[in-house]
Structure 1
Amino acid sequence: MDFLSENVYIDAGFQHLCESVFLRLCQIVGTSVQVAIRREMVDIKEMVDRRVADNDDTIEMESGSRREGFRLEGSDYDYMYWWNNHRVIFDMSQSEHYYTEDKTLILSDSSESPPGFTLLELLTPRTKREVQSACVPMNDRLYISSSQYRQQTQSHLFPGSIGHGPCESGEVRGIEYDFAHCFACDFWPLSASWIDRCHSWPDREVVNEIVRNGCHFVPIGHPLGLHEREEWRMSFSLAEHKLVHSMNRCQFLTYGLLKIFLKEVIDKQSEETNKLLCSYHMKTVIFWVIQQNAVPLWCPQNLLAGFWVCFKLLLKWVHEGICPNFFIPENNLFLSKVNGSAQRTLFLELHGLYEKGLVCLLQSPSIKSYITNVLYNPRLSICTNEDRIISECDHDKELFHEIYRNISYCPKNLDHCIKYLHTIELMIGEPLTQYQVLMLQISTADILQSTAFTLHNMYTNTGLNKQMYIADRMSCHMLKLAAKFWCISDMMYIAMFYCKTFRYREALCITEMINVKLAQSGLMYRGHVDPERYTEAVGGQSWSTKMRQAVAHEIKLNTHTCYIKELTLEQQSAKQNNRGVTFIPLFVVLHFVEFLCYRHIDTALAQTALEELQVLVHHDQGLYVPVHHRDISWEILGICQQMTGNLQAALYSYQQSLKQYPFNKIQNATQMRIQD
């Protein structure tokens, strides 16, 4: 009887331990609501972009852990880019699906390549300069060299970028990024035998969607292949994030625990082995474990059992030196890295952790205290209700940040603006989640702002008074309508428009209203907020009310249109350097517009606005002027100082602008101003 009681006690204790770790992972990884917000915001943004894209546009897709819904410390930004008018096919019969007058076709030839790799033969002579420059003749055919293509497509968007595998990699504000320029394929490769194994996971609907979406080819060859410098690797990034999205909550958190365990425990074992395994191996492990039904029940009370099954499979793979790619098992992901003495050392380290059992998780600083709490308090009652983990303020902060991060549309002209608006109009009738509906509303506001300024710029100086009057009324109406959808910052576009059209007093009325709203104690600016005051001010209100009353962000200017004529040089510089958006701190724009307006009304107040701007730029500690937006902030201060005739101060400000991180790519404009 005692023996039975002990077993029941151990079971209950293990369940409490699992629940405690589950709770901690919800805090680190995010609640199911937070993860859903992150995923759905990116999904709806890319859906809009794809439908609006012209045939010769570049398509952007976020990939990696952030696309999967993670926001772990140190998570990098992964993006894939491809030309919309280039497509890879697996056999010539598939060319029938394309109108070859406007599509460049590329044939995959994997006859001499290891599993998961291929050569790409250019079939259509009309192509991009970067592709043409990367072509090499082989066997009387023209193939695209992956190594040369990487060199041709290096964007050097940010300083210090380097080649890393198939990507251009670098760091901005301590956050790493990977940009991969690739080719898209609308077909599923026959060599990816994964479909035949999908009996219980994922369900047939997910499988069909993955197959419909095809795959990509990234520019990296197999290190042991015959044509390493010419070969391309098949990428299943799109399929992978569909699979991650189809995981249940416990499976996703187990995946998160594996990533944390890799970073905080495995990678800390020794210098020799800390780069051998990566998060892609962790993803591969959990994919195989889920599909093979190795864990009978994925639930919070069984979370650590699922983790342990994954860890044992990883240990087995390291011992054998074989990590089978989930889609093409013949492709051994360990082949060129986990071998020899490094493999033996890694196995001994992992086996040492395995012998300790789940106690090895105590080596994880993120998890440790939540395990010891249960060990010291075995009868501790743990609530796994995620609704209690996150406050209303934190939920709103997540939602508004993800919306802001994904609102970056850059229509190039009026026709493009109309195309965006028409696309969004059609999407509103589709089945969408509440977060996606909100995202579309705010996307509409963003496009309306670009449309308003684009329309006005078209009719400026045409001499057609009636058309100018109609365009002006329409622009004003669009800007006022946009301000009802999003946050306090959107009122600033109305002020900029009034300033641009010489209605200085009307502009100052708007800036005064903005100042009143920004002075509120419950303001949420760039995620900075006092939770108690925010909840007291707008708690329980609708999202629309919260945004209009208590939320503010930086100002985004589409570089294809003019908002403030004094910034024309800066926007042209950004555009020339492939920046679609110029980011300016809201408080900087506010003082800038006040200065521009008061110059025509009251020179003393203009000087006051300039002094306030100067104090802000010189002394802000990153709250109102983020470090990565200091380039444009110093620039605007210099412009104002130059306009007042204080050339010495202006020169200093421009020099300071050049010393900042060149996030907005305005250095050309700054140097021109210094020369002037």
Structure 2
Amino acid sequence: MYQVPNYTRTVSMRLSEVLSDIGVDERIVMKRRRAWLLTETIENVNNQLWNKYTHMLYYFGSQSEGTTTIGINSDTDELYCLNHIPVIQDWCEWIPGLPNLLMIQDDSVSPGYCLLQLLQRDAPLPADGESKQSFFKDRPGKVLLKQSFMSDDNLAKLKSHGPARVDQGSHGCSDRDIVVALHCKTWPQQARQWLDQQGEGQWPSAEMKQYCSRTGCFVVPVGCKGGDIRQLEWRISTSLAERCLMFNLNITQIRCYVLMKMVIKSFLDPQFEDVISSYMCKTVLFHCIANSHFYIWRENNLLSCLSLCLYLLYNNIINENCPHFIIPRNNLMMGKISPVVKPYILAIINNIINSEGVALLGIKCDDLGSRLRHKLNNLCPFKTSERISAHLLYDMARCVSISFNNNYVTLKNKHPNEVVQTLTNCISKILNDKHDGLVQTACQLVAPWYNTTLGSVFASININQQNSVSVDALKLISLGLNTDVASSKLKLASIFYSVQEIQKADQILSEIERSYDLQIVEPACCCYDFEKKAHRQGFFATCDIHNEDAIQYATASCVRFLPCEIHCVPIELRYEMVRSTPEDRILLTEEDDWMDNVVVNSLPYLYFLQYKVNSHLGRNIEKQSALSKLFRTIKTEPNLGHRETAFNILGKCMEQEGRVRDALQCYLMSLNLRRRNNAAKIHICTLLSVLGNFRA
């Protein structure tokens, strides 16, 4: 049996402890994977509810694998697969009525790549007359799809989609690496030999390979560097199979991969950025696991495992050949390493290997070096699991809201009856379709949003027609009160206030305030990009011990009303629907689609409604208390996305109090925050008009 030397065992165990402290342990890895896979599922479920079957979203790479840390801050790899363009490898797979593409994998293309030949829609025959710019007709007469097909509208339409749509590479958020791809249901011909190969480590298992073969492959618009027909080549991607392989690694193998990325980030990237990619590191890891005995991959042997991987990477660089794990003829290093930098890279890696772990003390990423030094001296640095968990839950809460609102805003100009029919159809699909696993969880998270919104639309219609709310509307809203800690309940309170059922509104508002723990609950605004401040300590702790269920009691989404819900909105807030002047509207973009609705943060709206309700009930002390809380929230809450709207409703309260100067000051402060598309302009004009008439 292989024996681990004492020195290696000691350093490996301390190194494993350090990686666990920064979130590379079984619990956080599984938490990351669940959060990202659930986010992926939520997006796809929402699209299907709205009959958007044109594409599927996948999250690949380190974020969804759980193989990143706060310091590494890996990109978010998003793949949008277009469903309406089938890619086939055999004529018998041809689908009538669709623009089928036949994969050509012969000696004319680079290994790991293919050409895509257009076929006729009405017969399994080659197309012969395509003249569009996205196609090229070669000498034998094949009509081939160019990569430029993906660079026009397809990518532009999808970039505004997804939970990271407003945070791309800003304010500490990871960059998005977006690719639009096509899917082939069958396993690529170039990878079929891999299914029968088996290395010394007996990994992957036969069952894993059988699963991988059923995932098919993607083709993405990337040509081989230096290829003769680069603009026509499409790279074959086995990302789904690789996700399966990553999900079957043990924690030592995952830690080894994370360490490799830290080594590259710390020692190579500062001088030779992007020469050695994390994907190369992953590929090296796969080869090492497949060709070594399983008992090597243990916590007390982590340092040796890292050296093994770095040594293989060293040899790959010498030979300038890093074979793709599944398609070995595809050399990932082709054209990547110039003769000038090669000896320097080799020297750096060689020094790290020969340092017997000492070089790791120089890794600043996640303070790994200093943490390791503390561990070797029996000190216990702080852990980052709470911070990681908080970011995961916060992003998931925003994803649920964004994925619903991306579709919700398309109804803003629709007739109420059409809105009712659309939302009813969505709810019917959720109830009637059989779901399990992550799809079931995703449906449980999105269903309350549909119920609350449909109930609110019904209520608005009822109020407009008979100034009361039907039992059916209230029943629907009651089914959706758990979207988060406050927003749906605030809609219900707003409805009761609108029909002057003040006692019921008061009761709901009191319940919201009791459940809104100011030490825990975070506002989760997803409307636009603004700099987020650090989360509350209580939010960190809550997220660390819970998964997606904490969205219901640890986050507060914005309260939104469509124009067709206007009768559920207090009159002071209705001006928000007409906040844009004609000059403002010219400058609006797709990211401003929320501006035609009433949108307000939950906590300011809670105190505003309490102020109005207590005014009706003649409770002056409680009214002034609500006013003070509203003012304090606007001044001190760090993550209000609609602070200008909060100032506007505070101004309306000041007007009611007869404090005209204070009201005007509120509107001016609101304008200071948002110069355009702000209802404060209307409030100021109205206020000045009233003052002018009063003085006259």
| Category of TM-score, reference length = shorter chain | 0.7 to 0.9
1:359-370 matches, within 5 Å, as: 359-365=358-364, 366-370=367-371
Match of 1:590 in 2: 606
1:485-504: per-residue Cα shift (whole Å, max 9, x none)? 75455433433444566656
**Contact persistence 1:285–1:310 (CA under 8 A):** yes
CA-CA distance at 1:361 after TM superposition: 1.1
Q: Distance in 2 between matches of 1:458 and 1:210?
A: 52
Q: Are 1:106 and 2:105 an aligned pair?
A: no
Structure 1 residue 656, shift from structure 2 partner: 2.7
- 1:404: which partner in 2? 397
Give SS of 2:341's match.
helix
Could you say if the C-alpha distance between residues 495 and 274 of structure 1 is closer, same or farther in structure 2, counting changes exceeding 3 Å? same
**Deviation for aligned residue 1:675:** 13
Q: Is the Cα contact below 8 Å between 2:260 and 2:281 reproduced in 1?
A: yes
Aligned to 2:147: 146
The range that moved more, 26-35 or 61-70, is 26-35
Q: Given the alignment of the two structures, is residue 14 of structure 1 paired with residue 24 of structure 2, yes or no?
A: no
CA distance in 2, matches of 1:22, 1:195: 33
Match of 1:120 among 107, 116, 119: 116
1:406-454 per-position Cα deviation (integer Å, ceiling 9, x unaligned): 5244265656656655665578874x49xx8766543443443344335
Q: Return the offset for 1:655.
A: 5.9
- Which runs of 5 or more residues in structure 1 are unaligned? 1-6, 160-166, 659-666
Return the letter of the residue paired with 1:404.
Answer: A
More displaced 10-residue stretch of structure 1: 583-592 or 290-299: 583-592
For residue 317 of structure 1, report the CA deviation from its aligned partner: 0.8
User: Which residue in 1 is equivalent to 2:643?
Assistant: 633
Alpha-carbon contact 1:295-1:309 (below 8 Å) kept: no
Q: In the alignment, which residue of structure 2 is the partner of 1:552? A: 555
Over residues 457-510 of structure 1, what are the superposed CA-to-partner deviations in whole Å (9 max), with x where a residue is unaligned?
A: 67775x5x7xx98x8423322333333575455433433444566656533442
Distance between the aligned counterparts of 2:118 and 2:67, measured in 1? Answer: 37
AA of the residue aligned to 2:455:
A
Aligned residues: 616
Shift of 1:25: 0.9
Distance in 2 separating the partners of 1:503 and 1:479: 16
Residue 279 of structure 2 corresponds to residue 277 of structure 1: no
Task: Please tell me whether the aligned partners of residues 187 and 213 of structure 2 are also in contact (alpha carbons under 8 angstroms).
Answer: yes
* Bigger mean CA offset, 478-487 vs 215-224: 478-487
How far apart, in 1, do the equivalents of 2:87 and 2:516 lie? Answer: 52
Structure 2 equivalent of residue 662 of structure 1: none
2:50 matched to 1:57? no
Displacement of 1:245: 0.8
1: CA distance, partners of 2:313 / 2:83 = 38
Q: Matches of 1:110 and 1:179 in 2, distance apart? A: 25
1 CA distance for matches of 2:544 and 2:376? 38
Q: Which residue of 2 aligns with 1:302?
A: 301
Kindly provide the CA deviation profile for residues 262-316 of structure 1, in whole angstroms up to 9, marking residues without a partner as x: 2223324x3xx13311211111111111122266432211122211111111111
Q: What is the match of residue 39 of structure 1?
A: 33
Q: For residue 407 of structure 1, what is the amino acid of its counterpart?
A: V
Residue 413 of structure 2 is matched in structure 1 by none
Provide the identity percentage.
19
- Equivalent in the alignment of 1:219: 221
User: Could you say what secondary structure the match of 2:355 adopts?
Assistant: helix
SS in 2 for 1:192: helix
The residue correspondences of 1:307-318 to structure 2 (distance < 5 A) are: 307-318=306-317
Question: Could you tell me how far apart the structure 1 residues matched to 2:649 and 2:523 are?
Answer: 26
* 1:613 positional shift: 5.1
Deviation at 1:567, TM superposition (A): 4.9
Aligned twin of 1:3: none
Give the whole-Å Cα distance in 2 for the aligned partners of 1:191 and 1:671.
63
Alignment-derived partner of residue 196 in structure 1: 196
Shift of the 492–47 alpha-carbon distance from structure 1 to 2, 3 Å rule, reads: same
User: After superposition, where does 1:101-500 map in structure 2 within 5 Å?
Assistant: 101=97, 103-111=98-106, 112-123=108-119, 135-139=134-138, 140-147=141-148, 149-155=150-156, 170-175=168-173, 176-193=175-192, 194-197=194-197, 200-268=202-270, 270=271, 273-293=272-292, 296-365=295-364, 366-373=367-374, 375=376, 397=390, 400-401=393-394, 403-408=396-401, 409-410=403-404, 417=423, 421=427, 430=436, 432=437, 441-453=444-456, 455-456=458-459, 472-483=470-481, 487-498=485-496
Change in Cα spacing, 1:529 to 1:177, as seen in structure 2 (3 Å) is same
Q: 1:232 to 1:312 in 2, by over 3 A?
A: same
Candidates 515, 518, 531, aligned match of 1:517: 515
Q: Is the 8 A contact 2:39 2:399 kept in 1?
A: yes
Q: Which runs of 5+ in 2 are unaligned?
A: 123-129, 409-418, 525-533, 686-696
Q: Which residue in 2 is equivalent to 1:528? A: 535
Determine which structure has greater relative contact order: mean sequence separation of CA pairs < 8 Å that are 6+ residues apart, divided by chain length: 2
Deviation at 1:597, TM superposition (A): 6.6
Structure 1 residue 72: Cα displacement:
1.7
Look up the match of 2:415.
Answer: none
1:36 is displaced (CA, Å) by 1.6
Q: Aligned letter for 2:535?
A: H
Deviations 1:500-550 (A, max 9, x none): 666565334423332333356565767834459978xx9999997x776x5
* CA deviation profile, 1:93-120 (whole Å, cap 9, x unmatched): 211xx4x33x442222344321122233
Distance 2:156 2:614 in 1: 41
- Choose the corresponding residue for 2:673, options 656, 660, 671: 656
Match of 1:86 in 2: 85
**1:663 aligned residue:** none
Moved more, 644-653 or 194-203: 644-653
Question: Tell me, what secondary structure is at the counterpart of 1:276?
Answer: coil
Partner-residue secondary structure (3-state), 2:189: coil
CA distance in 2, matches of 1:348, 1:542: 45
Question: How many Å apart are 1:585 and its aligned residue?
Answer: 3.9
Cα distance in 2 for residues equivalent to 1:192 and 1:541: 41
- How far the C-alpha of 1:86 sits from its partner, in A, is 2.2
Structure-2 separation of matches of 1:524 and 1:149:
38
TM-score by length of 1: 0.75
- Give 1:205 shift: 3.3
Instruction: Tell me, in whole angstroms, the C-alpha distance in 1 between the residues paired with 2:540 and 2:221.
Output: 51
1:169–1:179: 8 Å Cα contact kept in structure 2?
A: no
SS in 1 for 2:481: helix
- Give the letter aligned to residue 235 of structure 2: R
Q: Secondary structure of the equivalent of 1:61?
A: strand
Matched position secondary structure for 1:341: coil
* Contact 1:106/1:124 (<8 A) preserved: no
Deviation, 1:12, is 3.4
CA contact 2:183–2:218 (8 Å) conserved in 1: yes
- SS of 1:16's partner is helix
Q: Specify the code of the residue in structure 1 equivalent to 2:472.
A: M
8 Å Cα contact 1:29-1:253 kept in structure 2: no
Q: Secondary structure at the match of 1:223?
A: coil
- Secondary structure, counterpart of 1:335 in structure 2: coil
Structure 1 residues 265, 345: CA separation in 2 closer, same or farther (over 3 Å shift)? closer
Change (3 A) 1:319 1:455: farther
> 1:305-363: CA deviations, max 9, x gaps?
21111111111111111111122111111112213212232122222322323211111
Contact 1:250 1:303 (8 Å CA) reproduced: yes
Aligned letter for 1:58? H
Determine the C-alpha separation between the residues in 2 that align with 1:426 and 1:497: 29
| Mapped partners of 1:65, 1:478: distance in 2 | 40
Matched residues in 2 for 1:89 and 1:637: separation?
Answer: 58
Q: Against the structure 1 CA distance between its residues 322 and 250, is the aligned structure 2 distance closer, same or farther, given a 3 Å change threshold?
A: same
